[in-house]
Amino acid sequence: MQGKSQGILQAEFHSQPGLNFSIETIRSFFPALHRLPAFTFFDNAAGAQIPQIVFDAIHRHLLECNVQRGGRYAKSQEVDATIARARQSVADFLNARDPSEIAFGMNATSFIRLISLAIGQTLGERNEIIVTDMDHEANVATWLALEKEGAKLVWWKMGEDGNLHVEDLKPLFSSKTRLVACAVAANSLGSVVDVAGAAKIAHEVGAEVFLDCVHYGPHGQMDVQAFDCDYLVCSGYKIFGPHMGFLWGRRELLRKLPTFREEFIPDEPPGKIEAGTFIYENVAGMDAAISYLESLGKRPQAAGDGANKDSKRANLARAMQSIRAYEESLSLEMLQVLNNCGATIYGLARNNQVHDRVPTLCFNLPNVAPAKVTETLASNGIGIRDGHMYAPRLMKRLGVRLDSGVVRASLVHYNTIDEIHSFGNALLDLTKHG
């Protein structure tokens, strides 16, 4: 499939007046969705597909300026410019105050560890860290590792409904609380957490907030100012970009953190966070992924130059709001087909709760092993996942065996109602015939 330019993408997205979301147009930008044999991507929580403009950006970087930054020649200077553009794009995406608050690297996990190591060196009397039993293990084990540095871990436990609640968090704070670490959305259950409410209470007692936004990234509007957090990590390959990660932190906090750096690197963000060479072509791809999302939010009357042209941040916010609204319809349909199959749905399972979740659903079928479910659907050209979802404490809370776990189907905005129906039919056949 030939890729479309961003200008054509913009024109086609708005080619049907009155529709906020044209799923046919969206799917046309993702080459992987049109490869034969046909395949349904319902494992997006493990990594999403990328639009053509991301392929093009990576290819262009490798072809035209596959050199090290910091040189005096044009190709090297273009690498510097690419990184600067991408840093500004991610800052716009997150509503950061300053692009220097953005650092690029390998993935979210490595950034969680980097920050945890730095905080471990500066605990002092404030040595209590609040973690949750709903999070991905990467945002738990990294903080547990600080116990040998004198940290005391306090557990914010998930409610029986499958979400974290601020009223359960408040009693956990003390004068010794240093930080709360939690996800914005659970990579397993899809529950969306009231992180702004958590931050309000944390800051009242002088604590900081560290957010894992990896799973929420492709589903809704990220806004570090609205979240009122202190640190946030995300992985580009979950939000339609290549394999890379990025960190945001309040500049004044990043300046104070002790981090590894060569002596010739200034003790200032982002350089003090970005030890060594990262993958420049993937940073170029991340910039393109954000451009793709921005294009979805542009209004036709504001697409050209002129006084009515919206900011990049405004376009991104509009795009993510549209994605969030469309994905609620996917969640509703998924809940219906899973209920029709007699599935046990873990977490927020009522129709009136879809606003508090993303279309990531963990379930089990009666008397069918999770591995058999995923193998059967794979034979039907549908990719889903089984296992513990890197959340062993959550599996214990759910009462499921760690060695078998659950089945997870995770959708994004390029998935369709028709795909959900095919998924449901395959599950029904499995429940009938075993």
Is residue 67 assigned to a domain? no
Distances (CA, A) of 226 to 97, 185, 223, 337, 423: 12, 16, 5, 35, 36
Tokens representing 226? 């609205």
With cut-offs at 50, 70 and 90, classify the pLDDT of residue 206: very high
pLDDT of residue 3: 40
CA distance 151 to 147: 4
**Count of other CB atoms within 10 angstroms of residue 262:** 8
pLDDT score for 428: 96
How does pLDDT run across 20-39, given as a tens digit for each residue? 568 999 999 999 999 999 99
Residue 355 lies in a domain: no
Rounded Cα distance, 104 and 377, in Å: 36
User: Is residue 412 exposed (0-12), middle (13-18) or buried (19+ Cβ within 10 Å)?
Assistant: buried
**Does 373 map to a domain?**
no
Residue 20 exposure: Cα atoms within 13 Å on the Cβ side: 11
Q: Which residue has the higher pLDDT, 22 or 179?
A: 179
pLDDT at 307: 55
272-293 average pLDDT score: 95
Contacts of 386 (CB under 8 A, 6+ apart): 370, 371, 373, 374, 404, 405, 406, 407, 408
Residue 368, domain member (yes or no) = no
The position carrying tokens 């979805």 is: 296
Residue 308 lies in a domain: no
**With bands split at pLDDT 50, 70 and 90, how would you rate the model's confidence at 304?**
low
Task: Indicate if the pLDDT at residue 293 is higher than 50.
Answer: yes
Q: Establish whether the linkage from the previous residue to 270 is cis, with ω within 30° of 0.
A: yes
The answer to whether the pTM exceeds 0.95 is: no
**Does the pLDDT of residue 43 top 90, yes or no?**
yes
Higher per-residue pLDDT: 260 or 423 = 423
Position 1 scores a pLDDT of 35
Cα 336 to Cα 424: distance, rounded to the nearest angstrom? 9
Report which of 312, 237, 215, 280 is spatially closest to residue 6, judged by C-alpha positions: 312
Q: Is the pLDDT of residue 263 over 90?
A: no
Predicted pLDDT of residue 417: 97
- Angle, nearest 10°, between helix axes 74-94 and 312-340? 60
Cα–Cα dist 421/250, whole Å? 44
- The answer, yes or no, to whether residue 19 has pLDDT greater than 60, is no
Give the domain CATH number at 158: 3.40.640.10
CB 98 within 8 A of CB 250: no
- Which structural domain range is residue 101 located in? 74-288
Single-letter amino acid code for the residue at 44: N
Residue 128 lies in a domain: yes
Is 277 part of any domain?
Answer: yes
- Is the separation of the CB atoms in 427 and 337 below 8 Å? yes
Return the closest-CA partner of residue 55 out of 113, 4, 121. 4
What would the mean pLDDT of 377-387 be, rounded to a whole number? 98
Q: What is the pLDDT of residue 420?
A: 98
Indicate the number of domains in the chain: 1
83-130: pLDDT as tens digits: 999 999 999 999 999 999 999 999 999 999 999 999 999 999 999 999
432 within some domain: no
